[in-house]
Structures are given as C-alpha cells and as structure tokens.
C-alpha cells in the first residue's frame, strides 16, 4: 500500500474515533435523560453482540474486534422498583437497549451468517439504529434468554406473558426519534402509554409537558 493511501486511512480512523466519542457521549446523556424522566436508577450494563471489552490485563488477541466495540449493541439495566397496589406489590424491571446497526440481524433473516462477516451485513443505507425499551412486570426472563431473537430486534413492539400478572413488553424506536428534546419527550410518552395499556405503572416522577 502506498504511503499516501495508509495516511488517508489513518486520517479517517482518527476522525472516526473522535466522532464515535462524541456520539457515545450523547447516547449516555440520552440514557440518563430517559432514566430520570422514568424515575429509574442505573444498575450496570451488558454487551449483547460480543464479549465485554477486555480490561485489567484480560482478553486475547484472538478475540473479535467487536469485543473492543461493546456499545455496538448494549443493554443499560436499571434497579428494580416495587410498586405498592391496593392488594399486592408489583416488581417492575427496566432496561434500555442501544442497537447502533441492525444490518447483521436483517441479513440473518435470509441466511445464517457469522457476526464477524461484516461484508454480508445489510448495507448501512438500508440498516437502522434503534433504542429498545423493555419493561417487565413481576417477570424478567423470557426475552432475557435471547436478546438477539429476530422478533425482538426487528418488531416494533410485543408482549411476552408468563401469567396474567407476570409479563414483559418491549417497544422499539428509531434513534432519529430522539434527535432533540421535543422528539425524545414524545417517544417517552409513547412508551408510557404502551405501559399504561398493559397495566404497568412506571411512575414518571416529573411529568413531561
């Protein structure tokens, strides 16, 4: 490779890392904004597309490059809340999933491909970036066994029931729905409405106007 060729590539890499820093900072701010409006306290996260980024002397050079890019698909989990009702108590579970590129999952509908076969992912122009809200009422298991299920990734919303009072719901939003505060408020209220329709009280502390 000619020197000017590698120089151009490295220039783009430096630009990409700086853009990625600013972007991920905005995602963290957005997650914090949503959590505060829904009155949930953050309780740790989990990489969902690959292993967590190696740290403190761990890891292997045979690990996927994805392992160093853990926010590609990531779960932000929050502390459970107990809601007192007239006759009983309900435990409410909540997570936000950021999926920055569903190109792998779209491609997987048609063929069984490896997560490292990036060239086989659906083109970026046809892929989507999503924020998926998941809430459980007295139940946090069914979806949790398989967060890369295509129905979970690609459907707009769904309900998974274990019993009449034990179930989970999820709602998927395009990240474009959070491009500014007004749009973010609208999306949060849409999620709140879905929770109310399914008899889940998420107790918004400061009502969004």
Q: Is 143 exposed, middle or buried (0-12, 13-18, 19+ CB in 10 A)?
A: buried
Question: CA 109 → CA 104, 105, 114, distances in Å?
Answer: 9, 7, 13
Residue with tokens 């998926």: 132
pLDDT at 17: 97
pLDDT at 207: 53
Domain ranges of the chain: 30-53+61-197
- pTM attached to this predicted model: 0.91
Taking 50 as the pLDDT cut, the residues of the chain under it are 1
pLDDT digits (tens, 9 = 90+) for 8-53: 999 999 999 999 999 999 999 999 999 999 999 999 999 999 988 8
Three-state SS string across the chain, please? Answer: CCHHHHHHHHHHHHHHHHHHHHHHHHHHHHHHHHHHHHCCCEEEEEECCCCCCCCCCCCCCCCCHHHHCHHHEEEEEEEEEEEECCCCEEEEEEEEEEECCCHHHHHHCCCCCCCCCHHHCCCHHHCCCEEEEEEEECCCCCHHHCCCCHHHHHCCEEEEEEECCEEEEEEEEEHHHHCCHHHHHHHHHHHHHHHHHCCCCCCCCCCCC
């Amino acid at each position: 490779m000619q020197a000017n060729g590698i120089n151009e590539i490295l220039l783009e890499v430096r630009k990409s890392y700086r853009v990625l820093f600013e972007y991920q900072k905005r995602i963290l701010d957005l997650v914090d904004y949503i959590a505060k409006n829904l009155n949930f306290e953050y309780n740790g996260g989990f990489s969902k597309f690959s292993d967590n980024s190696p740290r403190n002397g761990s890891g292997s050079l045979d690990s996927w490059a994805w392992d160093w890019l853990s926010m590609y698909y990531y779960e932000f989990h929050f502390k459970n809340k107990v809601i007192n009702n007239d006759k009983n108590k309900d435990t409410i579970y909540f997570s936000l999933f950021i999926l920055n590129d569903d190109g792998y999952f779209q491609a997987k509908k048609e063929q069984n491909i490896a997560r490292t076969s990036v060239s086989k992912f659906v083109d970026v122009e046809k892929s989507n970036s999503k924020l998926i809200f998941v809430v459980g009422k007295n139940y946090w298991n069914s979806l949790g066994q398989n967060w890369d299920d295509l129905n979970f990734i690609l459907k707009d919303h769904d309900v998974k029931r274990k019993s009449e009072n034990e179930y989970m719901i999820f709602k998927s939003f395009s990240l474009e729905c959070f491009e500014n505060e007004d749009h973010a408020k609208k999306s949060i209220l849409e999620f709140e409405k879905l929770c109310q329709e399914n008899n889940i009280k998420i107790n918004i502390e400061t009502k969004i106007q």
